[in-house]
Amino acid sequence: MHNCVQITEDLCYIGGSDRRIALFENVYPVPRGVSYNSYLLKDEKTVLFDTVDLSVGELFFENLAFALGERALDYVVVHHMEPDHAASLLRLTERYPNVTVLASMKASQMIANFFAGIDVAVRVVKEGETVQTGRHLLRFVSAPMVHWPEVLLTFDESTGTLFSADAFGTFGALGGSIYADEVHFERDFLDDARRYYFNIVGKYGAQVQSVLKKAAGLPISMICPLHGPVWRKDIAWYLKKYLTWSAYEPEEKGVAVFYGTIYGHTQNAAEILAGAIAAEGVTNVKVYDVSVTEVSELLSEAFRYSHVVFLSATYNNGIFVKMENFLSDLAAHNYQNRGFALVENGSWAPQAGALMQERLSSLKNMRQIGEKITILSSVKEEQAELLCALAKKIAADWKEE
């Protein structure tokens, strides 16, 4: 049965949510599910903004048929060719053979690559080009690498609606209301929005900044992303989050302590250090076991805070495997611009500290606070004193920032 939401007289939400999915992109756990948004504009011409993932395809096609009624489908705008949005495109063209695809040049090539032999009219649109659909004037905005190179956004100049593709999206299924102003976004979605941003588009901060500059010149009254709630109010608050995140600035002053432990001695060091940092007056200290907390969350938390500490056991003459994976993920996402401190552990040849130092020093604008501390198997009085001295330096830096 169809389940559409009328957003304005002309615009309808026709997407759906998947709460059974375990891993988004077969990588990221999404215990709260995810939504695949699609929108239909009914003007003198009818315009569909993106299709959906196959998992919600049945509902989507019922919604589309209901929302169109007797009308034909004139256009489908393909903002992004990733299959979570474009997997239903072939089926759409089979059901609506007279539809014309509006897409970037790169997207038009991807359509042929994904769907060999697809028979559909494609009109390539460029940055700044417009299409008048009747009462609505749609302007296309190029947004390469947010999140793939073919990405396009659409700004409806008549209503101030920005169809923002993956930008401003979030993990988390929709339920009850599709609007950010009708849910408790900060409590229920912000952690997922941050984790979505840094893991999906975090690597492309410069490209996100360039889109935000374009957006700053637009009178935006509503944002319709491809995942998560629609924004009608407090848009400036969410834009500010994106400005902070894409500039690789910390969102919060705080210290995130990440430890990789095998039998608990490195954990012991982490907890002594975290306690000493808090005792110095730092009010925002978080501690994570990198073997327990899933890596997309670790990554999101590392980007969130101003200061980070990495403590790792030495393993196979290298960094403890879970910590090594986490550090590789940070580097792959352009992690930068933070104060960091290091602690290593080793029972006969401690190596993790030098290797972590090498990795972190290769990242942009990373400042090491204090010297790395070496623990031989377990924390003794002498190392506990060193940990407390390091905590003082971290706290002093935290207070200065």
Q: Which residue is nearest to ligand FEO (CB)?
A: 82
Q: Determine the interface stretch with ligand FEO among 81-89, 246-254, 310-318, 332-340 (rule: CB under 6 A).
A: 81-89
- Report the C-alpha gap between 328 and 62 in whole angstroms: 43
Beta-sheet strands, E only, within 285-384:
285-289, 305-315, 318-319, 339-346, 367-368, 373-376
Kindly state whether residue 18 participates in binding ligand FEO, applying the rule CB under 6 A: no
Which residues are CB-neighbours of 152 under 8 A, at least 6 positions away? Answer: 77, 78, 79, 80, 103, 104, 107, 125, 140, 141, 142, 143, 165
Residue selected from 42, 45, 80, 195 as contacting ligand FEO according to rule CB under 6 A: 80
Residue selected from 42, 45, 79, 85 as contacting ligand FEO according to rule CB under 6 A: 85
Q: How far is the CB of 197 from ligand FEO (least distance, A)?
A: 12
Kindly state whether residue 82 participates in binding ligand FEO, applying the rule CB under 6 A: yes
The burial class, CB within 10 Å (0-12 / 13-18 / 19+), for 275 is middle
| CB closer to ligand FEO out of 150 and 344 | 150
Q: How far is the CB of 87 from ligand FEO (least distance, A)?
A: 11
Kindly state whether residue 226 participates in binding ligand FEO, applying the rule CB under 6 A: yes
- Report the C-alpha gap between 37 and 35 in whole angstroms: 6
| CB closer to ligand FEO out of 226 and 391 | 226
10 within 8 A of 41, measured Cβ to Cβ:
yes
| CB closer to ligand FEO out of 196 and 259 | 196
Residue 150 identity (one-letter amino acid): E
Q: How far is the CB of 262 from ligand FEO (least distance, A)?
A: 37
**Number of residues forming the site for ligand FEO (CB under 6 A):** 8
Print the binding letters for residues 131-170 with ligand FEO: x by CB under 6 A, - otherwise.
----------------x------------------x----
- Report the C-alpha gap between 40 and 48 in whole angstroms: 5
| CB closer to ligand FEO out of 85 and 307 | 85
- Report the C-alpha gap between 317 and 392 in whole angstroms: 30
Q: What are phi and psi of 22, to 5 degrees?
A: -90, -45
Q: How far is the CB of 190 from ligand FEO (least distance, A)?
A: 18
DSSP 2-29: ---EE-SSSEEE--EEESS-SEETTTEE
Distance of CA 268 to the CA centre of its chain: 32
Q: Determine the interface stretch with ligand FEO among 15-23, 79-87, 277-285, 391-399 (rule: CB under 6 A).
A: 79-87
| CB closer to ligand FEO out of 85 and 338 | 85
- Contacts to ligand FEO by CB under 6 A: 80, 82, 84-85, 147, 166, 226-227
